[in-house]
Each structure stands twice: as structure tokens, then as C-alpha cells.
Amino acid sequence: MMKDYLPIILQAERDAAAGDVVVALRKLRKLSLMDFSGLMWELPHPDLPHLNALLPRMASEDVQRAWTGAAGPQMMQGTVDFVRIMQTQFERICRRPLQQARILDYGCGYGRLARPMYWFTDPHDYYGVDPWNRSIELCTEDGILGNIAQSEYFPATLPVGEARFDLIYAYSIFTHTSLKATNAALRVLRDYIHSTGLLVITVRPIDFWQIVGRIPEADRQAQVAIHQRDGFAYVPDSFPVINGEVIFGDTTLTPEWLERSHPYWRVEAYDRGIDPWQTVLMLTPR
């Protein structure tokens, strides 16, 4: 953090003494998105007891690595990189600011992306769902703000009540889900998007099969052929098994497969950030 901008944090710390997280966040949004996120990654901080009391504490390095493959400043910068892509694409495609949008984080994990999203939206408009009870426990234990609930692996509805969303995102979900789980999720998310909203998902390209170490060479070539033929390829990992099916593994899919299989979504654009294995697709409801 540049020292020039520390006074913003100290002012927010004084304001946080009143116990109102919305007021504290309003002050902290004077920070750049990068500095705001950097602060979130450093909480709890010994000099900021009032902000510590209102804002989530950062997940441990072990949790960060287990859910998202990296930790610390490197993870924070990759996270901000993705958030900036979402902001740019949302504002370009939906022609309105992302500020104060109602947001659904589909497969929220330990709440990594929730933290920078508070730069845009107050907690009451942030919703995070994940089917794994351990993800939900971590969000709760660390004090993730907003609406957190456990969803299902093959959801027909989502635990968000009547809420409909301006922005739904799913980072590193469709890079892993089986065909059945992918289809169920893409279908159900259509029911929860606002008619002028945006769904942002990450997917893996065909080239991924060249680098996936856990699969023998012959099987990788088979997946390349399946991806070319069907537009969707999936190799299960060892867990979890739901209804007799391993629903999580490695997945590649094409925008053409998505529009063909789910014609109620239009692929508006793709984008690419610093992680070459997370192609970002922007979808609008037809």
C-alpha cells in the first residue's frame, strides 16, 4: 500500500468504530480496487481493530491454495485481474456501471471473489452459493458478508429466494464440472439472471489437454479428439461422487457447444486475463 493513501484506511477505521459496515465500505471505496483488495487480503490487521470487527478475515494460505491453487499477493492480483475484466465487460455489454449491481457468485468457494466485489456492491446485494458444505463453513467462519447458502450439485433452483441478478459469475467452475452438472448449472442460472444482466464464466480451451499432468498422453489425445468432435470434453477426478457420478474433474468446452446446447444463452464475447487456462466468456440471456 502506498503511504499516500493510508489516511483513507485510517479514516475508515475511525468510522468503523460506529459499527456500520456499509459506512466503512463507502469510505474504503476511495481506495483503488487493487488497494481495497490488498487490504482485504491483510485482514485481520493488528492496527485496525474496528475494521477487523466488521470485515471478513482472510482465508488461510492452505485454504487459498487448496481451493484456488495460489495464495497471498499473487492470488490477490490474479483475482483483481479477473474482476477488472468483469467490470469492463459488464459496463461495455450492459451499458451501465457495475456499482451497486446485485451479484451472484456461483461456486463461491471460500469467498475469494466476494472480497473485491464489496468495492462495487454493498453486502446485502452480494449472494454466494456453493454445493460443498466446507466452502460454506469457511465463508461463515471467516465472516463473509451478504447472503451465503449451500446449493446443490445438480440444481433445479438456487437458495436465493426471489433475487434476480445483474451479474452472475462462475470462476473455475465450468473448468471442472461433468456434463450433467454443467448442463444443470447453465439451465438454472438462466432462471436467475435479470433480462438485462450478464453471466460471466471461465472455461478451458482445447490446449489445456496438452498440459494436464495427471492424465496419460494417450488419454489426453482422446480428449482432444472428443473436444474437436463434441465441443465438450471431461475427465473425472476421484471425488465427489453424487448419484453414482464423479461430478468434478477437468473440463474443456467451446462457445459453440454452449450456444448449441443452451440456446437461451448468447455468447457476447470472450476475454483473457493473466491466467491462460481461464478463458472468460460473457453470456447474455436470449
Ligand X SMILES: C[S@@+](CC[C@H](N)C(=O)[O-])C[C@H]1O[C@@H](n2cnc3c(N)ncnc32)[C@H](O)[C@@H]1O
**181 versus 281: smaller Cβ distance to ligand X:** 181
Cα-based distances in Å from 9 to 2, 15, 142, 150: 11, 10, 21, 33
> CB of residue 36 vs ligand X: minimum separation in angstroms?
17
Cα angle, residue 91 at apex, residues 275 and 67 outer, rounded to 5° = 30
User: Is there a contact between 255 and 267 (Cβ–Cβ < 8 Å)?
Assistant: yes
2-10, 13-21, 128-136, 267-275 -> range binding ligand X (CB under 6 A): 128-136
Q: Assess 107 for contact with ligand X (CB under 6 A).
A: yes
3-11, 43-51, 118-126, 165-173 -> range binding ligand X (CB under 6 A): 165-173
Q: Assess 172 for contact with ligand X (CB under 6 A).
A: yes
Q: Assess 279 for contact with ligand X (CB under 6 A).
A: no
Please select the residue that binds ligand X; options are 67, 120, 192, 265, rule is CB under 6 A. 67
242-249 own/partner pairs: CB under 8 Å, 24+ apart: 242/153, 242/154, 243/154, 245/178, 245/180, 246/178, 247/153, 247/154, 247/177, 247/178, 247/180, 247/181, 248/176, 248/177, 248/178, 248/181, 249/176, 249/178
Please select the residue that binds ligand X; options are 248, 252, 279, 280, rule is CB under 6 A. 248
> CB of residue 142 vs ligand X: minimum separation in angstroms?
13
Q: Assess 200 for contact with ligand X (CB under 6 A).
A: no
CA distance 12 to 29: 10
CA distance 221 to 127: 39
**123 versus 128: smaller Cβ distance to ligand X:** 128
> CB of residue 161 vs ligand X: minimum separation in angstroms?
18
Q: Assess 58 for contact with ligand X (CB under 6 A).
A: no
> CB of residue 247 vs ligand X: minimum separation in angstroms?
6
**55 versus 75: smaller Cβ distance to ligand X:** 75
**Minimal CB distance to ligand X: which residue?**
109
Q: Give the interface with ligand X as residue ranges (CB under 6 A).
A: 67-68, 106-109, 112-113, 130-132, 135, 153, 171-173, 177, 181, 185, 247-248
